[in-house]
């Protein structure tokens, strides 16, 4: 600054800090057939309330669909903005999921009422490949043997013995999906008749409501399902234990509290650190927040000075996460660590144009650290865990 005479001069200087802002966690995408099947087929349409959905996808249609009932349940339970993909006459789930690959502003994916093994595989594969979202799966409406829910189904088709092995999704070590049972009874939003509906829309609304009131680190369980008047199947404590131990989240009725979501497991096996819905979603939020907010490092000189800046910014962000109660440990050192130095960035990695930061977290569940790496280069971010 050039001083030309007496007076007060103010000079603005960059502080150098680049605060990391947490990304959203509760934007849902719903895929299915709308009451107006020809309305905006295979397009992503954002709506902020159920009236906006009906104006676009219901109109004068006299009957609801699984999609319209799920969207109604989403908003009824505290959901906000969501994305609708009307599959229309094709009912091609894979085409809808391919469309969702073009957006990074979705954190929850559901295909209400699509309960075949092929549907589960498509949803789980999509979420695992994207790495920034989680699928809510509906168990089949009618189950003749609850033990079948605890075993993965088969893509054999044809109704043969192979297809009858199980009804559930494949186990996934990273826990990018959670399945819920049973279907719920509620009032139809069009004709007010009592109907049985898949739970994924209502559950997605509970996810959003819990995120807003407590935070993504709070398990979306022990929470009431608004609008539910009953259940298609009554679960007792013994059945609950068997299902819960095998990754099936139960919705139950309690005489003193009503209808509650009574489980928070993913489809990950018991040994996985991503066994719990809140852990999977918390780690996803943290990884995405850091990845998006550290794009400034691309093309910066890859040396100790840069690594120090990265450690500073990421540590400051995780301190806030820890203070919010999302990480366990009485001190930050017990809750997380950030490593970005010559060990995580050897010369061959530098030569490839990559900057790698390793992060360890101790979520409120389970006790062990969850470790993942984020690398940034000119081609974009990559998260490995």
Query: In which residue are the tokens 């935070």 written?
Result: 215
Q: Which helix (H) or strand (E) holds 56?
A: helix 50-57
Domains and CATH numbers, the chain: 28-213+221-263 (3.40.50.11780), 293-384 (no CATH)
Question: What are the backbone dihedrals phi and psi of residue 183, each rounded to the nearest 5 degrees, phi first?
Answer: -70, 160
Predicted local distance difference test score (pLDDT) of residue 263: 93
Is 50 exceeded by the pLDDT of residue 56? yes
Q: What percent of the chain has pLDDT over 70?
A: 89
Mean pLDDT of the chain: 90
**So what's the pLDDT on residue 372?**
74
Question: For residues 130 and 373, what is the distance between their CA atoms, to the nearest angstrom?
Answer: 16
Q: What is the mean pLDDT of the segment spanning 349-359?
A: 91
Alpha-carbon gap, residue 330 to 335, rounded angstroms: 8
Q: Are strands 184-187 and 194-197 parallel, antiparallel or unpaired?
A: antiparallel
136-150 pLDDT per residue, tens: 999 999 999 999 999
Segment 23-44 shows an average pLDDT of 96
Give DSSP secondary structure letters for 203-216.
HHHHHHHHHHHT-T
Angle between helices 50-57 and 66-76 (to 10 degrees): 160
Model confidence, pTM = 0.90
Angle between helices 200-213 and 66-76 (to 10 degrees): 20
Confidence of residue 183 (pLDDT cuts 50, 70, 90): very high
Q: pLDDT per residue over 163-179, tens digit each?
A: 457 999 999 999 999 99
């Amino acid at each position: 600054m050039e001083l030309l005479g007496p007076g007060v001069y103010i000079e603005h200087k960059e502080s150098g800090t680049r605060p990391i802002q947490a990304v959203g966690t509760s934007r849902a995408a719903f895929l299915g057939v709308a009451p107006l099947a020809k309305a905006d087929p295979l397009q992503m349409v954002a709506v902020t309330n159920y009236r906006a959905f009906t104006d676009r996808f219901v109109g004068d249609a006299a009957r609801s669909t699984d999609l319209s009932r799920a969207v109604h349940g989403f908003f009824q339970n505290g959901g906000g903005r969501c994305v609708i993909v009307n599959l229309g006459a094709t009912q091609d789930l894979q085409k809808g999921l391919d469309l969702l690959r073009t957006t990074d502003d979705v954190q929850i994916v559901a295909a209400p009422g699509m309960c075949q093994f092929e549907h589960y595989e498509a949803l789980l594969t999509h979420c695992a490949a994207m790495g920034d979202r989680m699928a809510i799966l509906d168990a089949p409406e009618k189950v003749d043997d609850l033990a079948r829910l605890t075993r993965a189904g088969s893509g054999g088709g044809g109704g043969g013995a192979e297809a009858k092995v199980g009804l559930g999704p494949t186990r996934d070590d990273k826990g990018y999906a959670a399945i819920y049972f049973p279907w719920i009874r509620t009032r139809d939003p069009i004709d007010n008749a009592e109907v049985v509906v898949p739970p994924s829309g209502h559950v997605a609304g509970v996810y959003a409501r819990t995120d807003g009131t407590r935070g993504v680190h709070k398990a979306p369980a022990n929470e009431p399902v608004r609008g539910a008047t009953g259940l298609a199947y009554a679960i007792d404590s013994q059945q609950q234990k068997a299902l819960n131990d095998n990754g099936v989240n139960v919705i139950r009725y309690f005489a003193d509290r009503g209808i509650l979501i009574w489980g928070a497991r993913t489809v990950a096996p018991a040994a996985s650190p991503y066994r719990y819905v809140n852990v999977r979603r918390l780690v996803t939020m943290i990884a995405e927040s850091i990845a998006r907010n550290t794009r400034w490092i691309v093309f910066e000189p890859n040396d100790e000075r840069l690594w120090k800046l990265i450690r500073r910014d990421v540590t400051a962000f995780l301190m806030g996460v820890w203070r919010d109660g999302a990480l366990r440990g009485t001190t930050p050192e017990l809750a997380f660590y950030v490593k970005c130095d010559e060990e995580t960035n050897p010369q061959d990695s530098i030569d490839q144009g990559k900057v790698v930061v390793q992060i360890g977290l101790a979520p409120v569940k389970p006790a062990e650290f969850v470790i993942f790496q984020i690398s940034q280069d000119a081609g974009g971010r990559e998260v490995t865990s």
